[in-house]
């Protein structure tokens, strides 16, 4: 096949195709390099120096061994050409200055996403994908494993979290960072969705880090965090928020009554039938629409790329990633079927926040 390609395509196209293949084969090196710089605190070190730093500055601030300076340079070079850091020549023409791109700025400062990196690059998560061929050939649950994670590790992600404190911490810290940042964006851009209500239940909200953003912005709303016992029982703290409480429970069994139920990045973890069950419990918990009852879903709605290859690829990668818990990212038609099967009105609202990341309001 390689000799045939030499005849059929130009040398430039051949080179680009080989480079694309190499980038796929070694794509994990980018993820591991990103995890390395976050673990070392390099983005924060650059941020503290005003936004730019030399390699020597970075090594000093992050305690990299002087003998490993050349290796650090290779890490910085890779993450510069792949869009995490920028490079400029210093005014005196000496050492290169590394800066923070817009992408990297998501990893520094107040409300940043750096805690997501240790979780998404966690060995338990990454090694789940080694089992993909077996997963695709195996019987589905209940005869077989319920997810890639379960096939690789013998239990679900949620069960692993209940018995592995380190993994649970990485998972909860990742969810907290994501919830805090995006709920601030949502309140800034779509804050009207919370107006007029007296109470809400944030289901699957971990230790309530995101719920605290809502409670602080809307002190008149009585906010309840509901999650599994081993999560809300791990030092869940509502200090500073008189309108915040925590309840242990199972969203498949029942949900406390409130004007609204919030589900942020919950439904994408579950298949169609389970999503229907969760939403049916939500419907039982809220009043009629004419007195303000609704469910607020914060999740991805695929199909908003409008020809942008990076957004399309991001949606596909995110959808593929969700396979490790047997979850799925959905387009509008898939969401609509779930809403209908759960007994909700067809008169729902989808409000894009950042591309495919959206707020969806559904009504009983």
- In tens, the pLDDT along 292-321 reads 999 999 999 998 777 788 899 999 999 999
For residue 246, give the 3-state DSSP assignment. strand
- Tokens describing residue 162: 């209940």
Q: The tokens 């909860």 sit on which residue?
A: 172
Q: Hey, what are 11's tokens?
A: 């040398």
Residue 175's alpha-carbon distances to 89, 180, 183, 205, in angstroms, are 38, 9, 12, 8
Q: How confident is the model at residue 40 (pLDDT cuts 50, 70, 90)?
A: very high
Q: Which tokens hold the place of 333?
A: 């038609």
Q: Is the pLDDT of residue 91 over 90?
A: no
Model confidence band, residue 239 (pLDDT cutoffs 50, 70, 90): low
Q: How much is the average pLDDT of 147-170?
A: 91
Does residue 237 register a pLDDT over 80? no
pLDDT at 23 over 70: yes
Residues marked as catalytic: 268
Segment 175-186 shows an average pLDDT of 90
| Mean pLDDT, rounded, for 118-122 | 95
Is residue 332 predicted with pLDDT exceeding 90? yes
Write out pLDDT tens, residues 190-209. Answer: 899 999 999 999 999 988 98
pLDDT of residue 304: 76
221-225 long-range Cβ contacts below 8 angstroms, 24+ apart: 221/194, 221/197, 222/198, 222/258, 223/199, 224/199, 224/200, 224/256, 224/258, 225/201
Task: Assign 9 a pLDDT band (cuts: 50, 70, 90).
Answer: confident
% of the chain at pLDDT higher than 70: 97
Calculate mean pLDDT across residues 60-88: 97
| Average confidence (pLDDT) over 280-294 | 96
């Amino acid at each position: 096949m390689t000799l045939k390609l030499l005849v059929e395509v130009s040398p430039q196209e051949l080179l680009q195709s080989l480079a694309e293949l190499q980038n796929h084969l070694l794509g994990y090196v980018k993820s591991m390099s990103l995890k390395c710089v976050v673990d070392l605190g390099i983005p924060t070190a650059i941020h503290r120096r005003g936004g730019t730093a030399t390699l020597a500055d970075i090594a000093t601030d992050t305690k990299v061994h002087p003998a490993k300076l050349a290796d650090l340079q290779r890490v910085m070079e890779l993450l510069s050409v792949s869009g995490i850091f920028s490079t400029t020549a210093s005014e005196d023409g000496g050492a290169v200055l590394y800066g923070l791109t817009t992408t990297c700025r998501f990893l520094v400062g107040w409300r940043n996403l750096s805690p997501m990196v240790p979780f998404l690059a966690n060995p338990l998560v990454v090694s789940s994908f080694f089992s993909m061929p077996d997963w695709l050939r195996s019987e589905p649950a209940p005869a077989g494993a319920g997810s890639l994670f379960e096939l690789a590790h013998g239990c679900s992600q949620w069960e692993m979290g209940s018995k592995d404190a380190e993994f649970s911490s990485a998972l909860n810290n990742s969810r907290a960072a994501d919830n805090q940042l995006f709920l601030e964006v949502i309140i800034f851009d779509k804050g009207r969705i919370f107006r007029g209500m007296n109470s809400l239940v944030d289901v699957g909200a971990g230790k309530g880090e995101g719920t605290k953003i809502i409670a602080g912005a809307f002190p008149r709303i009585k906010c309840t965090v509901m999650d599994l016992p081993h999560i809300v029982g791990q030092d869940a703290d509502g200090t500073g928020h008189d309108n915040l409480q925590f309840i242990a429970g199972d969203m498949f069994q029942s949900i406390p009554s409130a004007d609204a139920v919030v589900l942020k990045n919950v439904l994408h973890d579950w298949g169609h039938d389970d999503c229907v069950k969760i939403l049916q419990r939500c419907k039982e918990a809220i009043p009629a629409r004419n007195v303000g009852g609704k469910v607020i879903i914060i999740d991805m709605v695929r199909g908003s790329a409008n020809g942008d290859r990076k957004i399309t690829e991001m949606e596909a990668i995110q959808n593929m990633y969700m396979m490790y818990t047997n979850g799925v990212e959905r387009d509008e038609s898939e969401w609509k079927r779930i809403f209908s099967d759960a007994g909700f009105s067809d008169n729902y609202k989808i409000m894009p926040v950042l591309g495919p990341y959206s707020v969806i309001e559904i009504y009983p």
